[in-house]
Amino acid sequence: MSKKSNKMAEPKATKMDFNSAFQRTPSVIFHVKQSMEDFYLSDDTLEQITKQMEEEMVKGLGKDTNESAKVKMLPSFVQALADGSENGTFLALDLGGTNFRVLLVKLEHGEKPEMDSQIYKMPEEVITGSGEKLFDHIAQCMAEFLTRLNMKHVKLPVGFTFSFPCQQDRIDTARLISWTKGFSAEGVEGMDVVSLLREAIDRRGDIKVAIIAVVNDTVGTLMSCAYDIRDCMAGLIVGTGSNCCYMEKMKNVELLPGDEGDMCINMEWGAFGDDGALDIIRNGYDREVDCASLNKGKQLYEKMISGMYMGELVRLVLCKLTEDKVLFDGVASESLKTHGKFETAFVSQIERNVPNGYTALQNILHNLGLGALHSDCEIVEYVCEAVSTRAAYLCAAGIAAIARKIRANYPEKEELEFTVGVDGTVYRKHPTFAKNMAHKVGQLTEGRGINVKFALSYDGSGKGAALITAVAARLHMEKGKGEIVGR
Ligand code: GLC
């Protein structure tokens, strides 16, 4: 794979001429440009990554190849999208980051769902402690929420959005394959998280619920979006982590029996590259970020894209440029030298505020103990843009691979148009991520009879999870198994 070509995918809005009154010497400009070269991906490289992702998808779906595949292509057991007939009151649980959310969702025949919710912090010692402590904490939050709503004794159907890679063999069981995103609670990997939650609920003995469905956040995002937009066929998250799901033809899902209909596949694309496939484009900063993480050698694609790592990548580059004496007069503050201090939210704030001048950026740097001149700001802005643009382009390669894969499922159609439902803080808050990604997807799918559209998906973990639970409950009833009463 050739990493560089003449057609550099340089971030568009960069002022690489530094054409302000505060010009740097040509050697500084040259040095900064050189240092950031490793973040540029040529169109040829992106095409290559798209092809590799497509191959990985086929490998993950294949019976004989799944075991060695890094992109696991996990069946979600969501086969039907909502049709507007869903009805009832549901409890939705959402665990996937440093917050745990409990939501009460009322669905009424296609009306806008009514929701009430509460956010609970997941303390570090809970995330990295014992599994029992983690699930006890979740059960306690549920009990508090239900007490507040005076619903502790109502047997509500529950949809559990658990945003980690899980092997499922039905909609209401999920065996955690491995933790991601800084979680490491002991004794959970390899276990069914629904059973662990039921046990925690039983230990308390004061709440009555029936856990009907466990879903990945990408799947909830797709479901939530499909409720409003009928041609929605994929769900993408670019937040703390990054992942995508899409509707695949059952006949291509070799690990499952049956050829009829569709299956929503949770790709777990974050693990793309864990077999070395991305080594040619990973740079020293990527390796440093990986080494400092709890899951070294894992989720390498995610670590180049998502919010948990983007700010840290920028911080490492800024440290290096300071060491090279082209930034901050060669003096790094303690904060700049500290892991995690340069938040991904800063990257979004910096790039959003640049058209209004550098005051916001100077404030951020000031709070990090850095006195920044205009010329420093230009460099910081440039670094942020290079890192976020690379993330958007890499994400685009993944989406283009999915688009090509879906396209192949509909050879009879002259043109295939579909929507990707998207959620996640990076996608929502970064000023150019969405635009850069959509633009690159357009390029990578050009001339292939595909038109990919993107739509913000609202509350996949609440509305989406409730819809999935409602559909699961309906199918259960239709199969003549009677009303769901849990267990
Ligand atoms: C991580 C998880 C995945 C989730 C994604 C977005 O990649 O492994 O399950 O969908 O983060 O939250």
Residues 205-229 pLDDT 10s: 999 999 999 999 999 999 999 988 9
CA–CA distances in Å: residue 57 to residues 108, 246, 281, 355, 437: 37, 11, 20, 40, 20
The C-alpha atoms of residue 440 and residue 478 are separated, in whole angstroms, by 44
Range of the domain at 212: 79-228+459-478
How far is ligand 1, taken at its centre, from the CA of residue 104, in Å? 23
Q: Does residue 6 form part of some domain?
A: no
Question: What distance, in Å, lies between the first and last C-alpha atoms of the chain?
Answer: 51
pLDDT in tens, 307-344: 999 999 999 999 999 999 999 999 999 999 999 999 99
Of the candidates 94, 136, 217, 262, the residue annotated as catalytic is: 217
Query: Does residue 175 belong to any structural domain of this protein?
Result: yes
Active-site residue, 275 included: no
**Ligand 1: centre distance to CA 378 (Å):** 33
Q: Name the residue of 242, 274, 344, 426 whose CB sits within 8 Å of the most ligand 1 atoms, as the mutation to test its pocket.
A: 242
How many domains is the chain built from?
1
Provide, rounded to the nearest whole percent, the portion of the chain with pLDDT above 90: 82
pTM recorded for the entire structure = 0.93
pLDDT in tens, 389-436: 999 999 999 999 999 999 999 999 999 999 999 999 999 999 999 999
333 domain-assigned: no
| CA 414-258-62 angle, 5° bins | 75
Would 374 be classed as within a structural domain?
A: no
Q: What is the pLDDT of residue 112?
A: 85
Structure tokens at 109: 């025949």
Measured from CB, residues less than 6 Å from any atom of ligand 1 are 96, 163-165, 180-181, 216-218, 237, 239, 241-243, 268, 270, 302
The count of C-alpha atoms lying within 13 angstroms of the C-alpha of 438, restricted to the half-sphere facing its C-beta, is 16
Residue having the nearest C-alpha atom to atom 11 of ligand 1: 241
Within a domain: 145: yes
Q: Does 286 participate in catalysis according to the annotation?
A: no
Task: Give the length of the chain.
Answer: 487
pLDDT digits (tens, 9 = 90+) for 27-51: 888 899 999 999 999 999 999 999 9
Q: Is residue 100 one of the residues assigned to a domain?
A: yes
Instruction: Output the CA 68–ligand 1 centroid distance in Å.
Output: 20
Q: Flag whether 7 is in a domain.
A: no
Q: How far is the CA of 242 from the centre of ligand 1 (A)?
A: 6
Distance (Å, whole) CA 349 – CA 408: 40
CATH number at residue 156: 3.30.420.40
Q: Looking at the domain assignment, is residue 61 inside a domain?
A: no
| 24 confidence band (pLDDT: 50, 70, 90) | low
Q: What is the pLDDT of residues 139-188, one digit of tens each?
A: 999 999 999 999 988 999 999 999 999 999 999 999 999 999 999 999 99
Mean pLDDT of the chain: 92
